[in-house]
Structure 1
């Protein structure tokens, strides 16, 4: 295979399998090339990913030599995307009677959800989560794309246990916004005791659902390494969970005037990305 073709296939393979370590031997056998040739190819791809703002290709010390691709977008690109997203969601036609904001089409859009998942992954990759957890249903697309960008499994908690999933751990928690008692269940096979869990959800008002998921993780003896939310409300200011990351803050919805005050959250970062 000519180098030009091999570079294309290598680039696609790495971007399709982020955060996973592959050895030079693996690539040599896959593309029928010497390890020295593969090493040169990877150096070219590394420079291209970096200069194009696609991510970083890390060299991992191991017996046979390995590399790992991690998505890392420039901060300015992330800020522009979040500003665009706020603009789309601030359309007055999205106001639902009762003072709610319609976001379902954005959440279930592959274009938007994949980019949101990449941002969450970029923020929490150094915490080395071993899985992503969400609760059915609207948080699933964002959590799935985050899991894909991290190269880890997705785990979904349900509102009630299912016979088809075997024995489950069930908890009751108090909703932070309505103060109602709700249920959450997760199959016993879903989490291991030493799992490092990243919680992802689409919306947070009081933080009751996120806190419920944190309690569910503790029941398994696992560890929560972060909480990532697409949109949080400005009020109540005190949530039931601490140290969460939100990409946007909904400050106010005025149904009578048709006004939505939604702002992106700025993260401290250098020019290379978050």
Structure 2
């Protein structure tokens, strides 16, 4: 005998499937087979899920028409949730013990904290939903967790650019670029098989100083006939005002060190 589910059980299952597959079109037949329910019943359940997520500012559900259509979940974060998270992160990072020699901020523990990265990734992803990117791109190594989270929420693949070619990745394309802050010449590489020609890409990193890395990423993508359509970073160094890029998204601004030796951070204009 086939198992029957009540409305609450169906709504819980539908929500879980949609949230775990962001930006992926889920055909209604998947739900009818999974939950042993008529398509009209599933449609009514989805209306309830859509209204609940919208009222709680947790995301939206879009309906895709046509034979290959269905519904898809798009993650969203409210301004209130964004402000609360960014303010809290500023407070954590402004401690005097966070400043290391060279006036850098220690953020390695933040970048490895799943709770922080999930929230930061959700906020950044929500800002780039409309771009319909094909890949999220980052450069090894500290920005990988954040970039991975953004890629997961946008429902696309993550591309990791290497500073040194890896023989296990086969033929690569390498370019030299100039650091926007130190003006030193550095190298980045990407495997030829890693990305499709003509793709739209989003660059995600942990920190932006002069914009040299982002400029290098743009030039490297040009070699693959791909386009850099957006840039998102966790922290922007406001003490380096003349950057190689003017259009990018950041969550926090680093404004130098105060007279007591602590970092000065503030929320960016999101």
- Equivalent in the alignment of 2:89: 85
The alignment partner of 1:22 has SS state of coil
After TM superposition, give the deviation of residue 25 of structure 1 in Å.
Answer: 1.7
- Equivalent in the alignment of 1:175: 179
1:245 pairs, out of 234, 240, 249, with: 249
Contiguous gaps of at least 5 residues in structure 2:
none
- Equivalent in the alignment of 1:120: 124
8 Å contact 1:169–1:185 — kept in the other structure? yes
8 Å contact 2:235–2:253 — kept in the other structure? yes
Computed over aligned residues only, the root mean square deviation of the Cα atoms, in angstroms, reads 1.2
CA distance in 1: counterparts of 2:193 and 2:6, whole angstroms: 46
Decide whether aligned partners of structure 1 residues 49 and 216 sit closer, same or farther in structure 2, where only a CA change above 3 A counts: same
1:29 pairs, out of 20, 27, 33, with: 33
After TM superposition, give the deviation of residue 30 of structure 1 in Å.
Answer: 2.5
CA distance in 2: counterparts of 1:28 and 1:225, whole angstroms: 38
- Structure ranking higher on relative contact order (CA contacts 8 Å, 6+ apart): 1
After TM superposition, give the deviation of residue 71 of structure 1 in Å.
Answer: 0.9
- Equivalent in the alignment of 1:272: none
8 Å contact 1:25–1:64 — kept in the other structure? no
CA distance in 2: counterparts of 1:190 and 1:125, whole angstroms: 23
8 Å contact 1:233–1:249 — kept in the other structure? yes
The alignment's TM-score, normalised by the length of structure 2, stands at: 0.95
- Equivalent in the alignment of 2:265: 262
1:141 has 2:145 as partner? yes
CA distance in 1: counterparts of 2:189 and 2:18, whole angstroms: 35
- Residues 49-128 of structure 1 mapped to structure 2, 5 A cutoff: 49-63=53-67, 65-128=69-132
- Equivalent in the alignment of 1:229: 233
The alignment partner of 1:78 has SS state of helix
8 Å contact 2:25–2:69 — kept in the other structure? no
Contiguous gaps of at least 5 residues in structure 1:
268-274
User: How many residue pairs were aligned?
Assistant: 266
CA distance in 2: counterparts of 1:17 and 1:187, whole angstroms: 27
Q: Which runs of 4+ in 1 moved over 4 A?
A: none
8 Å contact 1:24–1:64 — kept in the other structure? no
2:13 pairs, out of 9, 15, 40, with: 9
After TM superposition, give the deviation of residue 218 of structure 1 in Å.
Answer: 0.8
Q: Deviations over 1:43-78 (max 9, x none)?
A: 110111111221111112222641111111211111
- Equivalent in the alignment of 1:208: 212
8 Å contact 2:97–2:262 — kept in the other structure? no
After TM superposition, give the deviation of residue 236 of structure 1 in Å.
Answer: 2.0
